[in-house]
Amino acid sequence: GLVGSEMCIRDRIGIQYRGTCSGKFVVSDDIGCKNIVAEIPVTPAETWSEVRTALQIADGKHPLYLFFQGSGEAAVKELYLA
């Protein structure tokens, strides 16, 4: 894990979603999804639902790529750092 000055000030990531999705959203700081910085589990939801999880990323500016792994479809209303 990351320690001390390597820790991100915002150490959680959240998503608001709804849909028939069952699986997880994977957050990576590279487009090839080689370095996963968070995994957000999701289950089917008829109304807007919110899930938060730990974010493991070093300080600095990084792109964030969101990938869905699972079945069904999801509408994403918001993705945020907390």
Q: Specify the 3-state DSSP secondary structure of 6.
A: helix
- Pick the more confident residue, 78 or 1: 78
Q: Are 74 and 15 in contact (CB under 8 A)?
A: no
Arithmetic mean of pLDDT, 5-23: 82
- Judged by average pLDDT, the poorest of 2-6, 52-56, 77-81 is 2-6
pLDDT of residue 9: 55
Instruction: Please give the average per-residue pLDDT across 6-21, as a whole number.
Output: 82
Question: Is residue 27's pLDDT more than 80?
Answer: yes
Return the closest-CA partner of residue 74 out of 49, 39, 53: 49
Q: For the whole model, what pTM was predicted? A: 0.81
Instruction: Answer for the pair 46, 18: CB distance below 8 angstroms, yes or no.
Output: yes
